[in-house]
Amino acid sequence: MNDYDQALEDINLIKKIIYKAQKDFSGISNFFLGVALLNAFFVILKIVSYTLITGKGYDAGATQALISIVRYKNISLMVFYVMLYLYYRTKIKNKMDNFGLALVNIWGIIFIGIGLFALIISNKNIDSVQAVEFVSILMGICITALLIKKEWILIFCVIISGFYMFALTKDITFVVAMNGESRVLETMSSIIVDVMKSLGILLLYMSVRSRKHEDRANTGRTK
């Protein structure tokens, strides 16, 4: 065999193996875990701040500290999204995983886009920020579900969309904290968006992980 034939054979072998090995979703699943934990952290902070308002009042030091942190949520989330995106983009790019790279780019655009929109709009129109967040994340979850062949996630999307539409049309609000005469209200739609950003993305993480394990299990059966 001459050098050309050997080179061609080796290149084809390398291409074939890299293509087969690209079924590994571990990089992108960790990206989802990072985003879900980040959002869950801010949801927990919000719940704790409501508890403190009810228990200790607005003026307590701890309440004020937490309210300040939650107030800067948008800018903090934006910084974390950019960091997470750049870290996983580089990591996945180094693995030459085109599928994972496409997914991380889609989600990078979604989260950084949402972050920028929230920063620009700020407190002027919270409802429109929430609507953009909801629609963008919903679209992202649907695209990812189709790509990883987990069509049942689409059912989850339909159900949560139904709840969201219902919450918007009925304008349902809950009292989440009370202090004397004053009450803190939270709309049902904003609670749904928080659930989507934390539990929804966590569900996506678990689905991508289970897809990876299914591939391993299939591998075992074929041998």
90 binds another protein (CB under 8 A): no
88: three-class secondary structure by DSSP: helix
Q: Which residues contact 36 (CB under 8 A, 6 or more apart)?
A: 197, 198, 199, 201, 202, 204, 205
Task: Identify residues 97-136 at the interface with another protein (CB under 8 A).
Answer: 97
22 binds another protein (CB under 8 A): yes
159 binds another protein (CB under 8 A): no
29 binds another protein (CB under 8 A): no
10 binds another protein (CB under 8 A): yes
Question: What's the Cα-to-Cα distance from 35 to each of 28, 55, 84, 128, 200, rounded to whole Å?
Answer: 11, 30, 8, 22, 11
Among 73, 89, 93, 95, binds another protein (CB under 8 A): 95
194 binds another protein (CB under 8 A): no
Tell me which residues touch another protein (CB under 8 A).
3-4, 6-8, 10-11, 13-14, 17-18, 20-22, 24, 26-27, 95-97, 216, 219-220, 222-223
